Amino acid sequence: MTVQVEEIRLNLPHIEMAAHLYGPEDGHPVIALHGWLDNAATFTRLAPLLPGLRILALDFAGHGYSAHRPAGGNYLLWENVLDVLLVAQAMGWERFSLLGHSMGAIVSVMLAAAMPERVERLALIDGLMPYTGEADQAPEKLGEALRAQLALPNKRKPVYADVQLAVNARMKGVGSVSREAAEILARRGLMPVAGGYTWRSDSRLTLASPVRLTRAHAVAFLRKISCPVSLVLAEQGMLHHEPNIQTLLQGLPFDVHTLAGGHHLHLDDDTGARAVADCFKPFFASA
């Protein structure tokens, strides 16, 4: 099957963002948001299986082909929320839906809770709320983050002699993926350098966050969501075995689907992508 996908650039007031654009121009507008250290290619298998949608799969700032934030900038979650709003503005989309995986799902939740008038529907894949930290931990966490930032100039990205070595490393990374998935992500995520290849992603993305939401903050965002939500949990994913996740979900009016597969089940193989699509197609069709 030949899939039409357009590579685009969006010049926001503060940064240039890159994206893949799928589907008919008059399709229902959907902004698709990838996970931490991934890129827009994470939706390569899934997006073509969701007909009738105009899907803009974004590279978050510092990822893929999007620009890095300027010196002194940071990558806090709410900075990404603003970027998504500005992307929607650039596309001329007053109202839109969000399709988010992992970190992209978290950003989607925050935006839908904060700006309910803008978001029609949420389709979430193995992501819901950020890692949290309580108030008594804040001074130590800030100290750790500041020390890491001071040490950043001496930090060097790994360089791989060939692409397959980078693929092997990505297979074993956070949210381990299949070889095919790693190759898809690597095609957009690698760049040539002296001695081989390294990742395009900004090194600052690996730094500890200087401040985290408390659990009460995170739950408040979830409870504030007013639009329909469809959540896919992966049986071998990051959420399924999270302590208290089932208790938390019982109090939320979300449609929850538990599917076989790992954290990247929508990208690891065609079977996983079809299973996720089968959950989301009727969800978007009822919009």
**Taking a C-beta distance cutoff of 8 angstroms, is the pair 55, 32 a contact?**
yes
Question: How many CB atoms are located within 10 Å of the residue 233 CB?
Answer: 24
d(CA 33, CA 60): 7
d(CA 45, CA 275): 11
d(CA 227, CA 122): 7
**Taking a C-beta distance cutoff of 8 angstroms, is the pair 124, 107 a contact?**
no
Which residue in the list 102, 108, 201, 230 is annotated as catalytic?
Answer: 102
Looking at this protein, which amino acid is placed at residue 62?
G
Q: What is the β-pairing status of strands 196-199 and 229-236?
A: unpaired
DSSP secondary-structure letter at 16?
A: E
45, containing H or E segment: none
Q: Is 102 a catalytic residue?
A: yes
For the annotated catalytic residues, the residue numbers are 102
